[in-house]
Chains A and B, each alone.
Chain A
C-alpha cells in the first residue's frame, strides 16, 4: 500500500502575482498513502504557501505559476473554482494553526462537524451523518455524546479544540490532509496526545498527511519522511531517520543543531542572518550567504538535486562535507556562599481579583546564575514574573532584590531598584514602541533615569553592539527588523542600565528555532561576560539545558520540583516532572525508538 502515491507535487512554482518573484519554486514532493511528510523550515520559507497550494488555494496577491499537484492521479490545478471548493473539506482538508480562532465561536461543535458532512453530501441521510459525527469524535478520542457535542468552542480546552479541528478534517474521510503547525499553542502533554492521534488516524485510514512545522522534535516523532525548505526551495528530503542522523545539507545540520533536545546535553547552536526574501534571492544557492561551506561555485549556480542515499535527495554542491558547529556552553553551576542571592522569592501568593494563581512560591536566584522557571500554560509562571517585575500588583509575600524587599508595584519602587530588575517580554512584535527608533527605545531607560540624550545614545549604541547588532541599527524602526533582531533590541534595552537581575518571559517562544538558538547563545554569553543573574521563564523544557544552572518546575501555581538542571532533567523525583519529560517530544528518543 505504501507504493501508492496519494499526493504528488511536481515542480510547483508560486509567485507574487504583481512582480512575478518566486515565493516557492521547484518544489517536488510525493506522499504515499497513509504516510506523513514533515515539511520544515523557518518562517518565510514558503512552507505554509505550499500547504495552502495543496488545497488549490493561494493567498491574495499570490498565484500558482507552474508545476502540478495531483491527488490520486487527478490534477488539482486544472479544476474550476467551484470544483475546488467542493473538493476542499472532503478530498483534501486542512487543520489550521490556532484552533481557538478557526472554530466558529457561535456554533456548537456538533453543528460545526455536521456542517462539513452536510456541505459535502456525506452519507445518505441525516442519521448516517449523525452516526459519522459520533464515529469521528471517537476517532479523535473525544466523547461523542450529545452533551459534549452541544458545547461551544470556548467550553473546550485548547487540546480538545484542536481535536475538534482534526475531527472536522477527518470527517469526510479525505485522501490528503494538510496540517499547519496544529500543536504550536498546546502544552507538551496535550501536544503529544494530539500527535499520537494524528499519526494513528493517518496510518489507519490511509490518509496522506503534509505536516507543516518548524518544530523538529515533533517531526521526528511523527513523520515518515522529512522535507527541509529554505527560501522557497526544498534543499533536502529523505526518510526521517536519515535526515536527523545523516543530514547532508549544511542548513539541515544547522536546524538540527539549533533544536534543543531533552535527551541531549549539547547546547543549541544558532545561525545569524535571515533567509533572503522573495525577489531578493541571489542567483546561486540561496543559503550561500549564511553557509560556512560556501565557495564561489555556490553563488554561481543553484545546485541540482542529488541522490545521496535511499530516497534521500539533497541540493548542495558540498553535501556531506564536514562542518564545524560549536556552541557556547552555559557557565557551570557555581557553588558559592549561601548568602550570595540576587533575587529571593519568599512565600509569594499572587492572583487576579480573588482568584489565586500562585501559591506560596519560594526560590532563590543566586548571583551570576540563570534559574529556569518551567511550567505549562496556566501554571502561574508569567503572573509570578510580572509580580517580580512590578507589573502585577496583586501579590503578597516577599520578593527581595539584593536583600531589600520590593514594593508591589514598579511605580512605588525607587528608580535604582526599578532599573536593576529588567524585564524582557515574550513577544518582540509588541514590546517595542512602533514609532520610536531602535536607539530611542534602547536609550529610554537611561532617559527615564535622568541621563542626557547624548549619554543615552552612546550607551544605546554600545549596547546594540553588545547584543551582536551594529550601532547602525539605532536609526531604524522596529518594522524594519526581523523577530530575532527585535528580541535582541529588547534585550539591549533591558541591559542598558546594567541591571542585576534580568527576567526573561518566554523570550524565544515567538521565534524560529534557529533564531531561538541564536538568542539563547546571546543570553549565555551575556551571563558569562557580565555575571548577569537571570530568571528565565519557559514552557520549553529542552531549551533549559542550553541555558540554566537551576530549574524550578511550577504546576498549578506551586513549586513541584527545584534543583540543578542536570538533576531535574535526568533524575526527576516528582511524578509531574517525570510526566512532563516523558511527554516532551525528543528527536533522540524518537530515532532510537523508531
Chain B
C-alpha cells in the first residue's frame, strides 16, 4: 500500500515527562517552602560566622531583655540569645539530615527488595518493619539515650532506625504496581541483575512518592531531634541547640521571651519549610494541580 506519512512524524521537541519536582516547582507552596528551607539551612550552617558573640560567651546579666551590645538580650546564663540561636542550628540540622539520609537508604533498599521478591522474603521484611513501627519513637530514643548517653551517633542511629520502617512501607507500596509492569519483565528476560533491576527499572518509577516521604521524614526528624534537645539530651555540655534553648529559657518566658521564642521560630520555620515542599511534591506526584500548575 502507499505509505502515508504520519502527521506526527514532523519534528516534535523531545522532552522528558516532567518529574514531580519540576511540577512542584510551579506551585507557590513549594517555592515558599524552598525559600524557608534555604534561609534556615544557611542560618544553621553559616550562622556561627556572623554571630556577634561566641557560643558560650558571657555578655551580661542573665535573662535580661535589654543588654547594651546585644540585639535581643541575654539568656538564662547571660549569653547572647542571637549568637546562641545562630550557633544552635548546625547540630540539629546535621543530625536530622544524616539520620533521614540513612533511613532513606535502608528503607528504600528494604522496600524495593520486598516489592520485587514478594513471597516469604517480603513477608519477613515487612512484618519486621511493622513490629518496629509499633515502638513509640520518642520513648525508644529516651531509653537508648539514658542507657548509653547522649552521643551524636546514637541520636542519628535511633532516628534512622525508627524512620526506616515508614520509608520501607511507602517504597514497597509504590513499587509493587511497578514490578507488575511489563518493562520489568523485559529487563528480566534480558537477564539484567537483580540490583540493576531495582536500581534502574524500579527506583526511577517510585521517585515521586519517595521525594514526598523524604521531605516528610526530614520534617519529623527535625522535630524529634529538637524534642530530644528540649528534654536535655544535648550532645555537648552547654552547647547551643535550638531544642535545648527552648528548655533552658522557658522558665524566664515572661521576663525574656526571646530566649525561647527565637529558637522555637527557627524550628517552626524549618519544619514548615520542609513540610511545604513535601506537600508540593505530593500534590505534583498525585497529579493534583498538574493542569493549573499554580497555587
Q: Which residues of A contact B (CB under 8 A)?
A: 269-274, 276, 289-292, 324-327, 389-391, 410-411, 413, 415, 418-419, 421-423, 425-427, 430-435, 437, 441, 444-445, 448, 468, 470, 472, 475-477, 479-480, 482, 493
Contact = CB atoms under 8 A, between A and B. Distances in A.
Interface stretch (B109-117, B121-129, B146-154, B182-190): B182-190
Contacts, number: 100
Contacts of A290: 4, 7
A444 B197 CA distance: 12
Given A389-B189, A427-B182, A479-B17, A326 B1 contact: yes
Given A431-B186, A435-B17, A477-B15, A273 B2 contact: no
A324 B3 CA distance: 12
B139 interface: no
A589 B160 CA distance: 70
B205 A480 contact: no
A274 B8 contact: yes
Contacts of B2: 292, 324
Contact of B191 (A289, A327, A431, A448): A448
Contacts of B68: none
Interface residue SS majority, chain A: loop
A425 B185 CA distance: 9
Given A270-B1, A324-B1, A477-B14, 18 more contacts: A269-B1, A271-B4, A272-B6, A289-B7, A290-B7, A292-B4, A324-B2, A327-B1, A391-B188, A391-B189, A431-B181, A431-B182, A431-B186, A433-B201, A477-B15, A480-B14, A482-B8, A493-B186
Contacts of A476: 12, 14
Contact of B185 (A391, A415, A479): A391
A390 B4 contact: no
Contacts of A477: 14-17
B130 interface: no
Interface of B: 1-9, 11-12, 14-17, 180-183, 185-192, 201, 204-205
A515 to B, nearest CB: 12
A235 to B, nearest CB: 17
B43 to A, nearest CB: 36
A479 B18 CA distance: 11
Contacts of A270: 1
A272 B14 CA distance: 21
A457 B16 CA distance: 18
A431 B192 contact: no
A421 B186 CA distance: 11
Contacts of B182: 425-427, 430-431
B16 A445 contact: no
Given A391-B188, A445-B190, A470 B9 contact: yes
6 contacts: A289-B7, A410-B189, A476-B12, A477-B15, A479-B17, A493-B186
Nearest to A415: B191
Nearest to B3: A272
A418 B12 CA distance: 35
Contacts of A493: 186
A432 B16 CA distance: 14
B186 A423 contact: yes
**Which 8 pairs from chain A and chain B are nearest by CB?**
A431-B182, A425-B182, A475-B14, A430-B181, A273-B6, A433-B183, A418-B191, A430-B182
A485 B252 CA distance: 71
A290 B4 CA distance: 6
B174 to A, nearest CB: 14
A221 B16 CA distance: 45
Contacts of B183: 430-433, 441
Given A274-B6, A325-B1, A472 B11 contact: yes
A83 B291 CA distance: 32
Contacts of A413: 191
Contacts of B7: 273-274, 276, 289-290
Most buried by A among B2, B9, B186: B186
Nearest to A272: B4
A437 B188 CA distance: 19
Contacts of B8: 273-274, 482
Contacts of A325: 1
Contact of B189 (A326, A418, A482): A418
Given A435-B205, A477-B15, A480-B14, A423 B185 contact: yes
